[in-house]
Structure 1
Amino acid sequence: MAQAGDTQPTPEAITVHEQSRTLEVAFSDGARFRIPFELLRIHSPSAEVQGHGAGQEVLQTGKRHVTLVQIEPVGHYALRPTFSDGHDSGLYTWAYLYELGRDQEQLWRAYEERLAEAGVDRDAPMAGRAAGGHGCGGH
């Protein structure tokens, strides 16, 4: 929860670049990031992707060509994108967008390692999930 005096950077400009499939976010501290749609999608903060606890994350594949169909503000703290694969349940807070932008090189490396461990590549179709749900029955 934000406290008085917090200096968490907030977005000053958000631009969707459809051709390069990136979301550009300029923050109040001068940082500017171009975050690929694929990175946003594979690191969605939703339960469908993150699970409900450590070790329950679902490895996302087949998202290289995903696009943004829509992006909506949620209050004054987050965005809710709708991706071309139908995924729309992730709320990306300003802090999370900043983290994704700042840490994208490390996130890509970790993703590639997870793919290698699973013996799949990033273009493999998603396995074992019905479209539009994550199967926990809790939502």
Structure 2
Amino acid sequence: MPAPIPTDIKLQKASRTLSLTYADGHTYVLPAEYLRVHSPSAEVRGHGSPVLQTGKQHVGLTGLAPVGNYALKLVFDDGHDTGLFSWDYLYELATRQEARWQAYLDQLQAAGASRDPDVSTVKLML
């Protein structure tokens, strides 16, 4: 069964969020950083293994456009605009936001990396 298609989509540049409302009345607010680090693009998904995205804490959304009847193209202010977010993938991101975000934070910590673009970290092996 395919995921539902949002009945209302709002890009809120000031708060750097994308709001998705569905026919059942549920509204999900997805931060731009969350969407950027989970982009379905080859840059993020890699060619076989995902590429951990770092320094995206302050990224924002500058635009969006529907792609056919199956996806949204999101444009981020760091120049990233190659991922097509299918309705299924957006619904998964919306409904599994807490778990997916925590997994991302755990990956950052394990890599000794940061969400902050102004912080460089080095993991020393002693």
TM (normalized to structure 2)? 0.88
Match of 1:130 in 2: none
Equivalent residue number for residue 29 of structure 2: 34
Runs of 4+ in 1 over 2 A off after TM superposition: 28-31
Distance 2:25 2:70 in 1: 18
**Residues in 1 aligned to 2:86 and 2:26: alpha-carbon distance in whole angstroms:** 16
8 A Cα contact 2:57 2:117, kept in partner: no
Q: Take 1:63 and 1:37, find their aligned partners in 2: how far apart are those partners?
A: 9
1:121 matched to 2:114: yes
> What is the aligned partner in structure 2 of residue 109 from structure 1?
102
Residue 87 of structure 2 aligns with which residue? 94
Residue 33 of structure 1 aligns to a residue in which SS?
Answer: strand
**What CA distance in whole angstroms lies between the structure 2 residues aligned with 1:30 and 1:7?**
18
d(CA) in 1 for partners of 2:21, 2:99: 20
Aligned to 2:52: 59
Residue 73 of structure 1 aligns with which residue? 66
5+ residue gaps, structure 1: 1-5, 128-139
Q: Aligned residues: percent identity?
A: 51
In structure 2, runs of 5+ residues without a counterpart are: 121-126
Aligned length in residues: 120
Secondary structure at the residue paired with 2:8? strand
Aligned Cα root-mean-square deviation (Å): 1.8
